[in-house]
Amino acid sequence: MEDFYVTIPYGLAVLGGGVAGYVKRGSAASLAAGAGFGGALLLAGALSAWAFARGGGGAGSVFATVLQAVCAVALTIVMGIRYVKTRKIMPAGLIATISALVLLFYVYKISTGGNKVYVPVSVE
């Protein structure tokens, strides 16, 4: 599975959570964090998909991988600390858990060499 199949939905969930926090509680900090991290993850997912469509590798792919991992680490740590302090599953516990799982996926992708380039086999 390619990383952008995980990153784009993850980015949409983070962005949606920030918007939901703003709508429900009026939290501008939630909106800013959700928009910042969600936007960064969506950018990383788009860059990764673009690099994959162009044959994989390159600076765009490396930048996307680093950005994905940094966002997942930051969200895991920040929301994990927030969960420990508040003991509230929503949103801190949920985002910390999802981010930790996504981080494990990114570590797996990095350790196996990233997205693989599939060369079509011609029938001749």
pLDDT tens by residue, 57-115: 777 788 899 999 999 999 999 999 999 999 999 889 999 999 999 999 999 988 887 77
State the pLDDT confidence band at 123, using cuts at 50, 70 and 90.
Answer: low
Q: What angle do CA 29, 84, 34 make, to 5 degrees?
A: 25
| CA–CA separation, 77 and 80 (whole Å) | 5
pLDDT tens by residue, 12-27: 999 999 999 999 999 9
What is the pLDDT at residue 82? 94
pTM of the full structure: 0.88
**Could you tell me which of 16, 13, 24 has the C-alpha nearest to residue 102?**
13
State the pLDDT confidence band at 54, using cuts at 50, 70 and 90.
Answer: confident
User: What are the DSSP E strand ranges found in 23-111?
Assistant: none
